[in-house]
Chain A
Amino acid sequence: MNTPSSLSSALPGFTRRSFVKATLSATGGLALGFHLPAIAAMDGPWATDVEGAEINAWLVIAPDDTVTIRVAQSDMGQGVFTAMPMLVAEELECDWQHVRAEYASANRSLREDRIYQRMGTGGSNAVRISRPYLQQAGASARERLIAAAASEWGVPASECRASKSRVIHEASGHSKRYGELAAAAAGITLDAEPEIRKPGEYQLLGTSLPRLDVPAKVDGSAVYGIDVRVPGMVYAAVAVCPVWEGRLQSVDAAPARSMRGVKDVVTMDDAVAVVADSYWRAKKALEALSPQWDFGEHAGASSEAFKARFLAALDEKGTIAEEAGDAYGQLENAATVIEADYSAPYLAHLALEPVNCTVHIQRDRVDVWTGSQNPESVLTVAAEESGRPTEQVHVHSCHLGGGFGRRSRPDFVARAVTIARRVEAPVQVIYSREEDTRTGHFRPMAEFRLRAGLDAEGKPAALVNRSSTHSILAGLRPEAVANGIDQSSLSWLTNSPYAFAHRSIEHHLQRTHVPVWFWRAVGATQNAFALESFLDEMAHAAGQCPWRFRRALLAERPDIIRVLDAAAEQAGWNTALPRGQGRGIALVESFGSICAQVAEVDVSQSGEVTVKRVVSTLDCGNTVNPQTIDEQVQSSVVYGLSAAFWGKVEIQDGRARHGNFDRHRVLKMAETPKMETHLVLSGGDKWGGVGEPAVPPVVPAVCNAIFAAIGKRVRTLPLSDQDLSWS
């Protein structure tokens, strides 16, 4: 059991599948509508009382040498369930074959003065923030294992070394396994913490290792929130008022109550839920209800009207987010002035596992099972909603069926706890796909007006950039936007490496009743579309190559130029393409990493766009697991292309118009371009993020390629709404 291929078994020899089989044979192969299996038998990734000696909160070593490493970050596909253990194992000198991972306990972290430090996952921060203390946890454990052995052998610790889960004393020939030393090591205190390794000294970091969670994800045994089964569990389907800030006026529960398997109808201020003995029965009964909603004051709102309002604001100078020189004066004197408006829509996350949460409220404890990007906020919200002290709330972290930012908001947890308070049983609340989408919190829509002046030689003289968009932080940390500027909405617009001596970066903060939230790569996604497309317009207006035009603006940043050049070179930038085909380049530095991309497209005369190839270059400084980085860059490209082609949430009658994948198209295998990732690592102390930085540039790279192919400039997304035919 103790191999990476069955990493998350809490009970050795007891997998979920063997439990199911045992149950079936006990009933003679005849199963009658039962609920199983018991939670003790579930092979979930959550924290367990694993067998062995706990050397520190991060790791437990079992007598058979199995090392269980606790992961405080959430793996939504980006690989931290493997990368975090690698950071510990780098220093621990354990045999990687003996490593298994499980999620850390948020309850314990709160009880023990945040022993797991940061448990939220977002901002491509997992490695960047936790690397030093995870390395330290591994190094400290290694030294204590060595000290335990040295003490037992009566030799100086300095004469012992650790290797492959053993401590060895060469002179005497002594050697002991970690499993034999762990109990003694757990009782040792070091006089001083050991130094941790630096880039250049690593043995494990920088090597491509298979993900620890892959085996459980190819046989159906990985437990996601929606897979949790608790004895006596019931299911709930929920309908929330389709217009945000609306209310439930009334609902006649009778049609549902008479249906088979229905346990209860739960009404809330803004929602109604049906609880039944299976999800399907709950869903059918919910559909039998005709809730009367008070849609409130936003019942007539539409994205079209929002757009008009956002655009109108652009006629005025906004709050100055960044200013240098005399941009307006330079515009007046420029040889050429170009101006363009860009428009980006609301975007839904569309994680494949609809949000869900299982809650069991008992007299002295509350148990919550869910896949979340922030188990601490899940715990806090569950405590608030249940009225229980946080010590009594236990969050069991499940695998996440996608996150992309959506699962960092615990609104669905609050909803589940509210329902669970009214039900005398553990309850699993599952949102339908439509409900998941429509109650989502979207990537803000944004309107831009860009103006640039070029001098007689085509050199950029000034840039004025007005953006009109939401503030995500306004609803989260209002103090962060007290001056009318939300830096998270301005990524890639302010603090830009492009050397515009005369610039005015202006901002109009907007609010609608539509909730906005962090969407993979956040503000840089809409901003890069506008700015990187507009730079392409400037280059063409100046009669220059868009790659070289950018280079000239980046003289102060040779590190960015290296990444940009690598993308152009790897893509064969200078080779000619026939009409209807084109290459586009774009660049964004975000989350501590630089990413440049070249997209190659083919546009048919009827306007159908095929992205044939995307070359990505990335400087994330150093690497933990290079294969994961390649996978994350590809993942970002696909995510960005889905948004570029079809992504938009249309608001009509105050609500999201469409809820399912029939109207929210996303990229499929046949539409996926050939993707190449080239790492251009600057090393040193730089540790950049990996899960997000390749999302923002791919959209403008494609739009710029379309211009190169057919001469049509895309200024409004998604592409599916644009006429790209040519003759």
Chain B
Amino acid sequence: MITLTVNGTRYEIEVEADTPLLWVLRDHLALTGTKFGCGMAQCGACTIHLDGEPIRSCVIPAAAAAGRRITTIEGLSDDRSHPVQKAWIEHDVPQCGYCQSGQIMTAAALLEQKSDPSDADIDAVMTNICRCGTYQPMRAAIHRAAELAREVS
């Protein structure tokens, strides 16, 4: 039995300790917004926040997340009101959309660290794969999200 706190809710889950957090979220908690793309931390589709840090949940054993604060795309906001989500809609970023939960979680974590990230800052952390090639609108949307976040604060 592992106790996990996901998006503010506590769960006790019957699962092997080495099960990657990704599969606990998807198969046991039906939080399917976090995606499976590679299973070896290459693509970033499974990115979530662990105590506010972006991590690739496909290689983190569930047991390692016990007692820590887990945020998934479903917990980023209730109504797509997070600045990154708003900017993503404004810039019409997603195409197939499969990587976008991971992209958004990575970008949201970046903005927590840097309120006005440079292109170099963006390049350094936005290493998630997008096969549709939405990188250019995504970059513009990150700058826009930073603006939106500053307007709010």
Docked pose: A281 CA to B24 CA in angstroms: 11
* Pair B95/A77 contact, Cβ less than 8 Å: yes
* Pair B89/A352 contact, Cβ less than 8 Å: no
Residues of A within 8 A of B (CB): 5, 17, 20, 24, 29-37, 75-79, 210-211, 213-224, 226-227, 229, 235, 260, 278-281, 350-354, 399-404, 430, 432-433, 627, 631, 634-639, 660-662, 666-670, 672, 674-675
One of B10, B28, B100, B137 near A217 (C-beta < 8 A)? B100
* Pair A218/B80 contact, Cβ less than 8 Å: yes
Q: Which residues of B contact A32 (CB under 8 A)?
A: 12-14
Q: Which of B38, B101, B123 has the most CB of A within 10 A?
A: B38
Q: Which residues of B contact A402 (CB under 8 A)?
A: 96, 98, 131-132
Chain B residue nearest in CB terms to A437: B38
Chain A residue nearest in CB terms to B8: A29
Q: Which residues of A contact B27 (CB under 8 A)?
A: 235, 278-280
Write the nearest CB–CB distance from B15 to chain A, whole angstroms: 7
Chain B residue nearest in CB terms to A33: B14
* Pair A220/B133 contact, Cβ less than 8 Å: no
B87-103 Cβ-contact flags toward A at 8 Å (1 or 0): 01100111111111100
* Pair B131/A669 contact, Cβ less than 8 Å: no
One of B10, B40, B88, B129 near A668 (C-beta < 8 A)? B129
* Pair B15/A403 contact, Cβ less than 8 Å: no
* Pair B133/A213 contact, Cβ less than 8 Å: no
* Pair B32/A214 contact, Cβ less than 8 Å: no
Docked pose: A260 CA to B15 CA in angstroms: 10
Write the nearest CB–CB distance from A531 to chain B, whole angstroms: 24
Docked pose: A36 CA to B100 CA in angstroms: 23
- Contact (A222, B97) CB under 8 Å given A278-B28, A669-B127, A669-B139: yes
Docked pose: A156 CA to B107 CA in angstroms: 58
* Pair B133/A639 contact, Cβ less than 8 Å: yes
Docked pose: A278 CA to B15 CA in angstroms: 10
**CB of B147 within 8 A of chain A?**
no
We find that the number of chain B residues with CB closer than 8 angstroms to chain A is: 66
- Contact (A637, B11) CB under 8 Å given A214-B89, A218-B89: no
One of A220, A235, A404 near B33 (C-beta < 8 A)? A220
* Pair B74/A220 contact, Cβ less than 8 Å: yes
Q: Which residues of B contact A281 (CB under 8 A)?
A: 16
Write the nearest CB–CB distance from B91 to chain A, whole angstroms: 9
Can you report 26 A-B residue pairs in the complex whose CB atoms are below 8 A from each other?
A5-B80, A20-B31, A29-B9, A31-B13, A35-B30, A76-B96, A214-B89, A214-B94, A218-B80, A218-B88, A219-B77, A220-B74, A226-B32, A352-B35, A352-B98, A353-B96, A353-B98, A354-B36, A399-B98, A401-B97, A401-B98, A631-B137, A634-B137, A638-B135, A639-B133, A672-B133
* Pair B99/A30 contact, Cβ less than 8 Å: no
Q: Which residues of B contact A662 (CB under 8 A)?
A: 40, 42
* Pair B131/A639 contact, Cβ less than 8 Å: yes
Q: Which residues of B contact A20 (CB under 8 A)?
A: 30-31
* Pair B36/A218 contact, Cβ less than 8 Å: no
Docked pose: A404 CA to B9 CA in angstroms: 39
- Contact (A227, B129) CB under 8 Å given A353-B98, A669-B139: no
Q: Which residues of A contact B124 (CB under 8 A)?
A: 670
Interface SS of A by simple majority: loop
Docked pose: A293 CA to B30 CA in angstroms: 36
* Pair A219/B85 contact, Cβ less than 8 Å: yes
* Pair B96/A660 contact, Cβ less than 8 Å: no
**CB of B29 within 8 A of chain A?**
yes
8 more contacts with CB within 8 A, not counting A354-B36, A627-B92, are A31-B11, A278-B28, A401-B98, A402-B132, A639-B131, A660-B38, A661-B129, A672-B136
**CB of B122 within 8 A of chain A?**
yes
One of B38, B76, B95, B135 near A78 (C-beta < 8 A)? B95
Give the 8 A-B CB pairs with smallest separation, nearest first: A220-B33, A638-B133, A401-B98, A77-B95, A217-B97, A77-B96, A670-B123, A220-B73
* Pair A24/B9 contact, Cβ less than 8 Å: yes
One of B13, B28, B98 near A224 (C-beta < 8 A)? B98
Q: Which residues of A contact B97 (CB under 8 A)?
A: 77, 213-214, 216-217, 222, 399, 401
Write the nearest CB–CB distance from A222 to chain B, whole angstroms: 6
* Pair A634/B37 contact, Cβ less than 8 Å: no
Docked pose: A78 CA to B13 CA in angstroms: 39
* Pair A351/B9 contact, Cβ less than 8 Å: no
Docked pose: A634 CA to B14 CA in angstroms: 45
**CB of B52 within 8 A of chain A?**
no
Q: Which of B34, B136, B138 has the most CB of A within 10 A?
A: B136
Docked pose: A631 CA to B16 CA in angstroms: 43
Q: Which residues of B contact A217 (CB under 8 A)?
A: 94, 97, 100
Docked pose: A661 CA to B129 CA in angstroms: 9
One of A17, A30, A279, A280 near B74 (C-beta < 8 A)? A17
Docked pose: A351 CA to B132 CA in angstroms: 9
Chain B residue nearest in CB terms to A227: B32
* Pair B100/A635 contact, Cβ less than 8 Å: no
Docked pose: A128 CA to B95 CA in angstroms: 20
Q: Which residues of B contact A235 (CB under 8 A)?
A: 27
One of A221, A229, A352 near B129 (C-beta < 8 A)? A352
Chain A residue nearest in CB terms to B84: A218
* Pair A634/B45 contact, Cβ less than 8 Å: no
B residues 97-153 near A (Cβ < 8 Å) are 97-101, 104, 122-124, 126-139
Docked pose: A17 CA to B73 CA in angstroms: 12
B residues 20-67 near A (Cβ < 8 Å) are 20, 23, 26-40, 42-43, 45
Docked pose: A637 CA to B135 CA in angstroms: 11
Chain A residue nearest in CB terms to B29: A31
- Contact (A280, B129) CB under 8 Å given A32-B12, A638-B135: no
Write the nearest CB–CB distance from A618 to chain B, whole angstroms: 15
- Contact (A215, B98) CB under 8 Å given A220-B72, A352-B37, A353-B37: no
- Contact (A352, B43) CB under 8 Å given A33-B13, A79-B95, A433-B38: yes
Write the nearest CB–CB distance from A304 to chain B, whole angstroms: 26
Q: Which residues of B contact A636 (CB under 8 A)?
A: 133
Q: Which residues of A contact B131 (CB under 8 A)?
A: 350-352, 402, 404, 639, 666
* Pair B23/A280 contact, Cβ less than 8 Å: yes
Chain A residue nearest in CB terms to B37: A352
Write the nearest CB–CB distance from B131 to chain A, whole angstroms: 5
- Contact (A30, B30) CB under 8 Å given A214-B92, A218-B88, A667-B133: no
Write the nearest CB–CB distance from B12 to chain A, whole angstroms: 6
Write the nearest CB–CB distance from B32 to chain A, whole angstroms: 4
Q: Which of B20, B89, B128, B139 has the most CB of A within 10 A?
A: B89
* Pair B39/A432 contact, Cβ less than 8 Å: yes
* Pair A218/B126 contact, Cβ less than 8 Å: no
One of A36, A352, A403, A404 near B45 (C-beta < 8 A)? A352
* Pair B95/A631 contact, Cβ less than 8 Å: yes
